[in-house]
Structure 1
C-alpha cells in the first residue's frame, strides 16, 4: 500500500462511513470598496465525506456560496482530526434536483438529528456544496507522522514536490 493510499485510509477512518463531520471551511471574499482587497473568511460547517469530497447543505445566498462563486478555491480543516487541505468548491444546486438524489439521501442520513430543522428543501435556495479536495495533509502522533497528499494526481507529495 502506498503512502497516498495509507492517507486515504486514514481520512476514510476519521471522516467516512456516513459520519457527520465538523470542518472549518475557509473562502476568499472581496472587501467592498475601490481596492476590492481579497479577505479570507472561515466558518464551521457540518460535512459528509465520500471519495475525496466533503458535502455540505447550505443556503445559496450565504456568504460562503457567494464567495465561492467569485473564487472557488477553498481551504478546510477537519476539527480535532489532524486533517486539513485545499479544494475547489462547487454549488451542486437545489437539494431536490434529481441529479442530487443519491447524495441528498446520504446527507439526510448523516445529518438526521438536525437536517429537517436546518434545511427547507422546498426552497430552491437550499443547495448542496461540494468541496473537492485537491491537496490534503494528515497529522498523526502530534506531527510525528505526516501525509501530504495530491488528490488530483493521486500521489503523496513532499515539500510541494511529487513523490514517486
Structure 2
C-alpha cells in the first residue's frame, strides 16, 4: 500500500462507515469585508462521507449554498479528526429528485436522530450538497505523521 492509499484509508476509518461527521465548512462570502477583500465564512455542518465526497442536507436558500453558487471552491476540517482540505461544492438538487433516491436513503439512515427535525423534504429547496474533496491533509501524533493528498490525481504530494 502506498502513502496515498494509506492516507485514504485513514480518511475512511475516521469518516466512513456511515458515520455522522461534524465538519467545519468554509466558503467565500458574496460581499467583501470593510477592506474590500473577499471575506471567508465558516460553519459546522453534519456530513456523510463516501468515496472522497462529503454529503450535507441543507436549504438551497442558505448562505453556504448562495456562496457556493458564486464560488464552488470550499475548505473543510473534520472536527477533532486531524483531517482538513479543499473541495468543490456542488448542489445535487432536491432530496426527492429520482437521481438522489439511493443517496437520500443513506442520508436518512446516517442522520436518523435529527433528519426529520431539520429537513422539510416537501420543500424543493431541501437539497443535497456534495463536497468533492480535491486535496486533504491528514495528521496524526500531533503532526509527527502527516499525509498530503491530491485526490484529483490520486497521489501524495510533498
Q: TM-score range by the shorter chain?
A: over 0.9
Where does residue 68 of structure 1 map in the other structure? Answer: 68
| Unpaired segments ≥5 residues, structure 2 | none
Q: Contact 1:89–1:131 (CA<8 Å) still a contact in 2? A: yes
Show the counterpart of 1:90.
Answer: 90
CA RMSD of aligned residues (A): 1.3
- The 2-side partners of 1:102 and 1:116 are apart by 17
User: Structure 1: any 5+ residue segments left out of the alignment?
Assistant: 159-164
Q: Hey, what does 1:129 align to over in structure 2?
A: 129
Structure 1 stretches of 4+ moved >4 Å: none
TM-score under structure 1 length normalisation: 0.93
Correspondence for 1:161: none
The aligned counterpart of 1:117 is 117
Q: Which residue of 1 aligns with 2:80?
A: 80
Q: How many aligned residue pairs are there?
A: 157
1:23-68 Cα shifts (integer Å, max 9, x gaps)? 00000012269x9641100000000000000000000000000000
| 2:103 alignment partner in structure 1 | 103
Of 53-62 and 36-45, more deviation after overlay is shown by 36-45
Query: Aligned to 1:80, what secondary structure does the other structure show?
Result: coil
